[in-house]
Chains A and B, each alone.
Chain A
Amino acid sequence: MADTATASDARPPKSVVYCGVCSLPPEYCEFGGTTKKCAEWLEKAHPALYTALYSSEALSQNLSSLSVDAQKRAEKDAQKKAAKAEAAEARESEKRATSKVIIKRVERNKRKHITEISGLEHFNVDLKKAAKEFGKKFATGSSVTKTASGGEEITVQGDVSDEVLDWVVEKYNVPEDNVEQIEDKKKEKKAAPPMVAPQPT
């Protein structure tokens, strides 16, 4: 314990460093499951703290205060936790790689379109917030709507598919290959199908 019990009125608040990886105070990183990454982060961001926490001296001191039996159990526990965290991460990255964001332009009334964006939820995006953001950015109406298949998608008024594409890639770190742009021609008039209308993209 670094602080002493002399609590004077003028005592300034403690500034606390939180780990950039697991958000805990760095001294608790060892219980978070992503210890390795946390250590790397700390070494880069706060070298002084890193040496204080991860020097071999500090580590051995930590261990000596526990009985051998408890040590073993703790280690097993930590390993299990780490494995779990790793598996979760792998699943996440796999999901990222395989899932697609689809930006669809739907013709609503001749020259008027709406843009439907589906699949964003696979990239850890809060749809409601994203919808609000789109609305703000493009100064149009934008909302989360339920699709027929049970999922949810974002509907933006107006043809903004190109801008949405850029925004999605930039803001939500979705790889560009995973974004698909489609134009829905379902609502075109029956006479139209034979000739392919030029579609400005």
Chain B
Amino acid sequence: MFKKEFTAGQKSKVKSSAQRAVRAKVIETYPGLEPYIDDVLPKKEQLDLVKVPDRVSLYCNGSTPLFWQHMDDAIIPHLTVVHKYPWAFKRIRIDRGAIRFVMSGATLMVPGLTSPGGRLPGDEDAGVYDNGGQDIDAGEVVVVEAEGKEHACLIGVLKMGTKEMKEKKKGVGIENGHYVGDGLWKLDLS
């Protein structure tokens, strides 16, 4: 989604009622983030809304981007937030060979997740990616980490449930995500 670099549009302050709504929505979407919500979205701080091309709105606190949302889709955290609280999100892992494609903005394909280096919930050695053994459904927001790396490289909405992935082993996994080094990552808000 942010393959090209772009410049921020107009910045406006978010009404405190809307701010509460954002907060509620974030907690609802990411229950794991609740203990940290005051650090991520401080109650007293003025939240800003920055308009970004492609009908994306970006919520930020001062010059730190926090969440972005495409129209009325799911609200998705910026990767700097993910890097700070990786355990608060549902995670999957891709193999090493897929990293370079992700980093150049390609669509994440399922084989990168089902191969030996990839991890999906329910795998035998899933570890932190187990998600309590629950499959993740299509349409949910997942953080994608990479084999041999500590930090997440991509976040986006699943196009295919993880159960289906394990059966089919091909097709599109995540489209239009936010990855490290993309336009949103490089956006300068100061």
Are these two chains actual partners, yes or no?
A: yes
State the Cβ distance, B41 to closest chain A Cβ, in Å. Answer: 13
CA–CA, A189 to B94, complex, Å?
74
Q: Which residues of A are found within 8 Å of B145, using beta-carbon distances?
A: 1
| Residue contact A2 to B150, C-beta cutoff 8 Å | yes
State the Cβ distance, A124 to closest chain B Cβ, in Å. Answer: 11
Does A82 have its Cβ within 8 Å of any Cβ on chain B? Answer: no
Does B147 have its Cβ within 8 Å of any Cβ on chain A? Answer: yes
Q: Which residues of A are found within 8 Å of B100, using beta-carbon distances?
A: 31, 74, 77-78
State the Cβ distance, B84 to closest chain A Cβ, in Å. Answer: 4
Select which of A11, A15, A27, A74 is within 8 A of B87 by beta carbon.
A11
User: Secondary structure of the B side of the interface?
Assistant: helix
Given contacts A13-B85, A28-B151, 16 further A-B contacts (CB under 8 A): A1-B150, A2-B150, A3-B128, A7-B32, A9-B35, A13-B36, A16-B83, A23-B186, A25-B150, A27-B149, A65-B117, A65-B147, A65-B148, A70-B97, A74-B100, A78-B100
Q: Which residues of B are found within 8 Å of A5, using beta-carbon distances?
A: 87, 127-128, 130
Q: Which residues of A are found within 8 Å of B130, using beta-carbon distances?
A: 5
A-B contact pairs, 17 of them (CB 8 A): A3-B86, A3-B87, A5-B87, A9-B35, A11-B35, A13-B39, A13-B85, A24-B181, A24-B185, A25-B83, A27-B149, A28-B99, A28-B181, A31-B103, A31-B104, A65-B117, A66-B96
| Residue contact B83 to A14, C-beta cutoff 8 Å | yes
| Residue contact B84 to A13, C-beta cutoff 8 Å | yes
Q: Which residues of A are found within 8 Å of B97, using beta-carbon distances?
A: 66, 70, 74
Select which of A7, A16, A28 is within 8 A of B80 by beta carbon.
A16
Does A60 have its Cβ within 8 Å of any Cβ on chain B? Answer: no
User: Secondary structure of the A side of the interface?
Assistant: loop
State the Cβ distance, A19 to closest chain B Cβ, in Å. Answer: 10
Question: Which A positions have Cβ atoms within 8 angstroms of B?
Answer: 1-5, 7, 9-11, 13-16, 22-25, 27-28, 31-32, 61-62, 65-66, 70, 74, 77-78
Does B153 have its Cβ within 8 Å of any Cβ on chain A? Answer: yes
CA–CA, A18 to B32, complex, Å?
24
CA–CA, A14 to B89, complex, Å?
14
| Residue contact B151 to A25, C-beta cutoff 8 Å | yes
Q: Which residues of B are found within 8 Å of A15, using beta-carbon distances?
A: 84
For B147, the closest partner residue in chain A by CB is A65
CA–CA, A16 to B84, complex, Å?
7
Does B180 have its Cβ within 8 Å of any Cβ on chain A? Answer: yes
Which chain B residues (78-112) contact chain A, with CB distance < 8 Å?
A: 80, 83-88, 95-97, 99-100, 103-104
Name which of A1, A13, A77 has the most chain B CB atoms within 10 A of its CB: A1
CA–CA, A6 to B39, complex, Å?
20
| Residue contact A32 to B87, C-beta cutoff 8 Å | no
| Residue contact A14 to B86, C-beta cutoff 8 Å | yes
State the Cβ distance, A102 to closest chain B Cβ, in Å. Answer: 25
Query: Across chains A and B, which 3 residue pairs bring their CB atoms closest together, nearest first?
Result: A13-B84, A31-B103, A7-B87
State the Cβ distance, A127 to closest chain B Cβ, in Å. Answer: 12
| Residue contact B128 to A22, C-beta cutoff 8 Å | no
State the Cβ distance, B182 to closest chain A Cβ, in Å. Answer: 10
